[in-house]
Structures are given as C-alpha cells and as structure tokens.
Amino acid sequence: MWDQFREYCAVRGVRHPDREAADSFCAAAGADGVEQWQVFYRRAVGCLFDVAETGRFALRAGCGRIPVPEVFTAEFEVFASSLAGRQLAEATLRAKAGMLRRFLAFLVWLGVQQITALGVAEVSAYVRSLAPMAASSRAGQLYFLREYLRFAVRERGADPALGAMFPVIVTDKDAALPSVYRPGEVAGALAEAGNRSESPLRDRAVMLLASLLGLRSGDVKGLRFDQIDWANRRLSLVQHKTGRRLDLPLLDECALAIVDYWKNERPEVDDPHVFLRHRAPHQSPVAGNHFHQVVSGCFARAGVEASGRHRGLHALRHSAAVGMLESGAPYPVIGAVLGHAEANTTRRYLRVDVAHLRPLALEVPDGR
C-alpha cells in the first residue's frame, strides 16, 4: 500500500505528501468506506504520518471512536485548542475529546445543528442517556459537561442558562465496592497466565507485578530497565497517574518472571521499556491497552466466577491491597506500596475486609 501511495504521489507530482493527499489516495482507491479492508487501507497509509509526527505508530488509532459530526467540526477544534494550552496530561486530553465527541453526536441525533441552538431540554436528555453508566463514570461525564457548557456560553454564544446547569454535582466515590478476588482465585488465574497467549511469559510477568506489587497498568506498561535495581532487588519509578515517586521491593517471583520474559521471549529491539508488543511494531503497549483481555481470559480459564466484579489488571491491584490488609499490614505500609497520596484512599479497602469488620458489627435489635 505504501508503494501504491508513492506511485500515486509521483504521478500527480506531489513532492511533500500530507494527510490530505493520503485521503485523496484512499478515495481514489475506493477505500473511503467502513468495510474492514477499507479501514485497514486508511490505517496503513496513516501510519506513515504517525511516525513522521510522533516517531512511533499510533496503534489501534480510532478503534471504536465516535467520529466528530461534520456540522460540529469547528466547535470540536475550538474546544480542543483551548485545552492544548492548559498543560493537561495526554490521557486527560484524550478523555475530554472522547466525551465531547459523544455529546456532539447525541446532539446531531436530536436534530441540533449548532451550539447556539442548544437548550436545557437537550442537555437534560443527554444526562438521562448516561443513566446506565456506573456512578463514577456518570459523575465524570457531568463534570466535563459542566466545563464544556460554560465554555460554550463564554466563547461560542450559547444560551446563558446552560452555564448555570449543574451548580453542584453529587457523587460518592465509595458508592461501589472495589472488585476483589480471594488468594485462591488469584492463584488460579496466575496458573492460567500465558495459556492460549501469543506472549505467555510477558503476560505472566505483568499479572505478577499487578497481583503481588499492586502496580497500575500505566506503570507496568511504562516500566523501563533503568528503573530496576537488580543488585538490591528494587523498583524505583514515577507513577504514571500521580507523578509521585514509588519505591518497591522486587520480589523474587516477579524478578524471575521478568528475566524469563527478557531472555526467552522479548523481541530483540533497542527499546528501554521492559514489556513490548509481541507483534511488529515492537514497542510498548498503547495507552488504551490495559491488559484487560489477558486478565479476564485467565479468570475465565481458571473457572473463577467473576459476575459483578471487574476483570482487569486493576482488580488484581485491589486484591493485593485487601490481601495486605487482611494479613495485618499497617495502613502506612499498604499506602506506600500502592503509592497512595492520602490515607483516605487506602481506607476505602476497609469496606471489603469482612474479617476485621465482623467484630465491630452491632447486634440486631430485638424486634419483639
């Protein structure tokens, strides 16, 4: 496909190809539809510009992404530009852009064609559509919606009544219990790690780091060799989520799993990251890959009943926290291992520590 694109540009005298030329090439090849081969065609050409602009492939770009409605392209770009100067994390920018695409697509479905025609009734209808979401996800959507509506009033001439919506957003971070698996269930999943996998040694090492050390997926994906002190068996890294330094003992089981992957499975490429994609391009996993399929597959093969519980890498982190709590580890130790900035964050695990809560339970009053 790259050869075809090169010939296309040569015939038309395009000396400096850009994304617009790539779009024209795909349209000329009939690859401007939604069939699998057409999507692959566009992605194959788009990879050239991803590498030119960022130095790496943007894997799974646009996978499942809601497109920006054409009538709201200008609105989307103006708001995106306003975010660019706020020094927000890349994940935050990506999340806000996704929520705005969702909102604008809903407005088009309602028949709204411009922001100045947006009213309270349409916004209320969108809020009602968020009802199936988890409480925390819904609250995040509302916080963003309030931010965007105030921007629309201030910068785009929207109805001032929109800016007065959501003066208070009520949310309870403790509304849902952390998803926790018992030690036997985690052991069963670890026993299945690597089965039916293209990268079995990597998957096992990743699950061990999450279940024994409680590392988040972002820290696992970003782990570099220079953050491992092999002589003293320690990990020293800056947490992807909080930006805080985290120092942890590197347990022998984790160290051996990393070495096994490094020596026997890891692609031989010059990349500082420990964990890489098994398929080319051999680079660290993309931002959207949280190893969910790896973990959920292990639980399924181990026969663990996971109904009502999350089945991703973060559930292993929760399980590690509760395991330390039940074994009598002090709160400061648990918080330090998990990299919590506040003790209240660690205390949320008390709600699932049934063994220590049971002696505190009050007797049921005699109703006779």
- As a residue count, the chain comes to 368
pLDDT digits (tens, 9 = 90+) for 227-237: 999 999 999 99
Nearest alpha carbon to residue 304 among 289, 319, 291: 319
Element (H, E) at 148: helix 135-156
Q: For residues 329 and 342, what is the distance between their CA atoms, to the nearest angstrom? A: 17
pLDDT by 10s per residue, the chain, length 368: 899 999 999 999 999 999 889 988 988 888 877 777 888 888 888 888 888 877 777 655 444 567 889 999 999 999 999 998 788 877 788 889 999 999 999 999 999 999 999 999 999 999 999 988 878 888 999 999 999 999 999 999 999 999 999 999 887 766 677 788 989 999 999 999 878 888 999 999 999 999 999 999 999 999 999 999 999 999 999 998 888 899 999 999 999 999 999 999 999 999 999 999 988 888 888 777 778 888 999 999 999 998 888 888 989 998 998 888 888 888 788 888 888 877 777 777 777 777 777 787 888 877 66
Q: How far is CA 62 from the centre of its chain?
A: 14
Domains with residue ranges and CATH for the chain: 2-54 (no CATH), 70-163 (1.10.150), 183-357 (1.10.443.10)
Q: For residues 327 and 173, what is the distance between their CA atoms, to the nearest angstrom? A: 25
Residues 124-137 as b/e (b if ≥16 CB within 10 A, e otherwise) read: eebeeebeeeeeee
Q: For residues 289 and 17, what is the distance between their CA atoms, to the nearest angstrom? A: 31
Q: Please state, in angstroms and as integers, the Cα–Cα distance from residue 231 to each residue in 75, 212, 213, following that order.
A: 54, 20, 18
pLDDT digits (tens, 9 = 90+) for 50-65: 888 777 776 554 445 6
Q: Which amino acid appears at position 117 of this protein? A: A
pTM: 0.70
First to last CA, the chain: 81
Beta strand pairing status for 228-229 and 234-238?
antiparallel
pLDDT digits (tens, 9 = 90+) for 144-189: 999 999 999 999 999 999 999 999 988 776 667 778 898 999 999 9
Structure tokens at 181: 């698996």
99 contacts 144 by C-beta, under 8 angstroms: yes
Structure tokens at 99: 């929520």
Hey, is 164 helix, strand or coil?
Answer: coil
322 contacts 353 by C-beta, under 8 angstroms: yes
